[in-house]
């Protein structure tokens, strides 16, 4: 998918107090950065940031880091947080493949993956955020009781994700549903993303899984 370049986005991201410019230097020091020992949750592919910031408002005792590769998308989240600052939220403009270079072992307590790019062609399977390649990266940074929460409306991607977890010796599927909004147990406390609201309004069932090691 080709994204429209927004003039000035790079400069805004570079100058934002909420965007960390040299995250590799903070590997193993994230709790020092936040100034507390609270759990660290990250969202990979955060888009415009609605989900992450709603979570942060509800859970001030948790540190949140939003990860987005494209400045033109991250710009929207920066504009939102400038209007309503949150002390427990920061952003990274990075490729998710570099996560083990940025977070140390046992440094992240939870990873959220919401409506990730499905990369539908077979030759691009390694790029999917629920592929075994990315699961191995998550394994390097999660705490012993850490977990992944994944939501999508793409049935093929969800099937692929279930199969990747099942094939892995490191991961265990804790829960899953192919119709989140009609699953009373898994939908309890659910916070919707922009895409989730859009797709569900069209009648698309939302899938969700939770996996741990």
Q: How confident is the model at residue 8 (pLDDT cuts 50, 70, 90)?
A: confident
Of the residues 10, 104, 117, 183, only one is catalytic, namely 117
- Say whether 117 is catalytic: yes
Fold of the 35-212 domain: Rossmann fold (3.40.50)
The secondary structure of the chain, three-state, reads CCCCCCCCHHHHHHHCCCECCCHHHHCCCHHHHHCCCCCEEEEECCCCCHHHHHHHHHCCCCEEEEECCCHHHHHHHHHHHHHCCCCCEEEECCCHHHHHHHCCCCCEEEEEEECCCCCCCHHHHHHCCCCHHHHHHHHHHEEEEEEEEEEECCHHHHHHHHHHHHHCCCCEEEEEECCHHHCHHHHCCCCCCHHHHHHHHCCCCCEEEEEEC
What is the predicted pLDDT for the residue at 103?
98
Cβ(194)–Cβ(47) under 8 Å? yes
Decide: 149 and 143 in contact? Cβ < 8 Å: no
Residue set of the binding site: 43, 68, 95, 117, 121, 153, 193-196
**Residue-wise pLDDT tens digits, 40-63:** 999 999 999 999 999 999 999 999
What is the DSSP pairing of strand 142-152 with strand 207-212? antiparallel
Q: Report how far residue 76's alpha carbon sits from residue 89's, in angstroms, rounded to the nearest whole number.
A: 15
Residues linked to residue 182 through DSSP beta bridges, in sequence order: none
pLDDT tens for 160-187 read 999 999 999 899 999 999 999 999 999 9
Cα 93 vs. chain centroid, distance in angstroms?
12
Residue 66: closest CA among 9, 31, 19, 108? 19
Q: What is the CA radius of gyration of the chain?
A: 17
pLDDT at 127: 96
Q: Binding site for substrate, residues?
A: 121, 153, 193-196
Tens-place pLDDT, residues 124-162: 999 999 999 999 999 999 999 999 999 999 999 999 999
Phi and psi for 62 in degrees, rounded to 5?
Answer: -120, 140
């Amino acid at each position: 998918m080709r994204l429209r370049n927004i003039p000035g986005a790079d400069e805004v991201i570079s100058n934002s107090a909420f965007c960390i410019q040299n995250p590799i230097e903070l590997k193993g020091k994230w709790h020092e950065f936040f100034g507390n020992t609270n759990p660290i949750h990250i969202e990979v592919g955060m888009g415009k940031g609605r989900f992450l910031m709603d979570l942060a408002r509800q859970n001030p005792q948790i540190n949140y880091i939003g990860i987005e590769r494209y400045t033109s998308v991250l710009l929207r989240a920066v504009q939102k947080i400038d209007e309503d600052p949150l002390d427990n939220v920061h952003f990274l403009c990075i490729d998710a493949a570099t996560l083990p270079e940025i977070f140390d072992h046992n440094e992240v307590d939870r990873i959220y993956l919401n409506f990730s790019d499905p990369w539908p062609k077979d030759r691009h399977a390694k790029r999917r955020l629920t592929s075994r390649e990315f699961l191995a990266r998550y394994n390097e940074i999660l705490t012993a009781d850490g977990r992944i929460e994944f939501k999508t409306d793409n049935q093929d991607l969800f099937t692929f994700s279930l199969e990747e977890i099942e094939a892995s010796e490191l991961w265990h599927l804790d829960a899953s549903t192919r119709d989140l909004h009609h699953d009373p147990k898994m939908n309890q406390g659910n916070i919707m993303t922009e895409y989730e609201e859009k797709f569900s309004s069209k009648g698309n069932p939302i899938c969700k899984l939770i996996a741990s090691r």
